[in-house]
């Protein structure tokens, strides 16, 4: 059973890890959002790729949701002493990822090849693919003006009110070769839209030329999991952004964003009333992933959910 999953960082990586555990080795391809990527302290940083790398390798920091487990912070401490920028925390082990990625990008290697090499060296049995090797940058028009993604998300803790979101460079970018190949694979048995932020993690992937159309045309059932449970996001600014963009904070509002390609929607059992009127078939289950078992149980439910033609 070969499966393609579209993912951001924290929420998406948890389901991706569950899928990785329940699928045979080599059957899962995870496509990572790169709209959050940025250059900082001279380094090329790809937060969602790294959250997926660390989570799939089982070396993630579960308290933060980003970065590595048992991290040390000598570099940050030394940087602070020297008066350097410390608003974006780079742990000592994590720093190695950014330094090596930056070196290889500067030498002309595409991000997809570097990512594939990192995941292999970390022992991850799934393919991990950046959505594109080209430069796409999420930017937000807020009450504080136009902001780069990490300036909004980390430096300002997602507090400015969001009016508009753009994925700069997406229209000219090309989806990565491996992503396009997975979308065109006739043996694909599922496409999973992880419970990631629809605006900041999934939309950047969908905004690449040809991706949305490929999702509409694929023979594989497309299954999305709600990132909203009980009128709230589990973590991060998804609910806040929905309110600011004039949308109801509900699993149904997320499903409607995917309506043109969605075959089945997985929502939380607490939200039965919220999704009762959706046109797409819904499967209700527990969707909160607190433990590794929760991730696997949800992954199994996502793979079992019947879809188009089944």
- Asked whether position 48 contacts ligand FO1 by CB under 6 A, the answer is yes
- Of the ranges 37-45, 53-61, 102-110, 220-228, which one interacts with ligand GDP (CB under 6 A)? 220-228
DSSP symbol at 262: -
Q: For residues 131, 132, 133 and 136, what is the CA-based torsion angle, rounded to 10 degrees? A: -110
Q: Pick out residues in 124-183 that bind ligand FO1 (CB under 6 A).
A: 150, 153-154
Q: Residue-wise over 20-43: b if at least 16 C-beta within 10 A, else e?
A: bbbbeeebbbbbbbbbbbbeeeeb
Question: Which residue is nearest to ligand GDP, using beta carbons?
Answer: 11
Q: Residue-wise over 219-258: b if at least 16 C-beta within 10 A, else e?
A: ebbbbbbbbbbeeebbebbbbebbebeebebbbbbbbbbb
- Asked whether position 8 contacts ligand FO1 by CB under 6 A, the answer is yes
Q: Which of 20, 126, 165, 225 binds ligand GDP (CB under 6 A)?
A: 225
Helix H or strand E segment including 100: helix 92-106
Judged by beta carbon, residue 89 or residue 283, the one nearer ligand FO1 is 89
Q: Which of 31, 56, 90, 202 binds ligand FO1 (CB under 6 A)?
A: 90
Judged by beta carbon, residue 118 or residue 261, the one nearer ligand FO1 is 118
Beta bridge partners of 233: 228
Interface with ligand FO1 by CB under 6 A: which residues? 8-10, 36, 47-48, 50, 66-67, 88-90, 94, 150, 153-154
Interface with ligand GDP by CB under 6 A: which residues? 7-12, 14, 48, 51, 195-197, 201, 225-227, 229, 233-236, 238, 287-289
């Amino acid at each position: 059973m070969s499966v393609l999953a579209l993912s951001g960082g924290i929420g998406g990586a948890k389901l991706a890890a569950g899928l990785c555990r329940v699928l045979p080795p080599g059957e899962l391809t995870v496509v990572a959002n790169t709209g959050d990527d940025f250059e900082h302290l001279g380094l090329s940083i790809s937060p969602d790729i790294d959250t997926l790398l660390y989570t799939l390798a089982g070396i993630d920091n579960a308290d933060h949701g980003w970065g590595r487990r048992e991290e040390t912070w000598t570099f940050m401490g030394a940087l602070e002493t020297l008066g350097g920028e410390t608003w974006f925390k780079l742990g000592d082990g994590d720093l190695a990822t950014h330094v090596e990625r930056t070196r290889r990008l500067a030498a002309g290697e595409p991000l997809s090849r570097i990512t594939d090499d990192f995941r292999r060296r970390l022992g991850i049995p799934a393919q991990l693919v950046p959505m594109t090797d080209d430069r796409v940058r999420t930017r937000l028009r807020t009450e504080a003006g136009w902001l780069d993604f990490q300036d909004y998300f980390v430096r300002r803790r997602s507090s400015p009110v969001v009016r508009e979101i753009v994925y700069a460079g997406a229209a000219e970018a090309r989806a990565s070769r491996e992503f396009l190949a997975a979308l065109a694979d006739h043996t694909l048995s599922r496409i999973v839209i992880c419970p990631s932020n629809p605006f900041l993690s999934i939309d950047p992937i969908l905004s690449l030329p040809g991706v949305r159309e490929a999702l509409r045309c694929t023979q594989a059932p497309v299954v999305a999991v709600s990132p909203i449970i009980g009128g709230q996001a589990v973590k991060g600014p998804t609910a806040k952004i929905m309110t600011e963009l004039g949308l109801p904070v509900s699993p149904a509002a997320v499903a409607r964003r995917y309506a043109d390609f969605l075959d089945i929607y997985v929502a939380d059992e607490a939200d039965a009333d919220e999704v009762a009127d959706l046109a797409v078939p819904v499967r209700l289950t527990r969707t909160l992933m607190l433990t590794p078992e929760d991730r696997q149980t949800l992954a199994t439910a996502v793979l079992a959910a019947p879809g188009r033609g089944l």
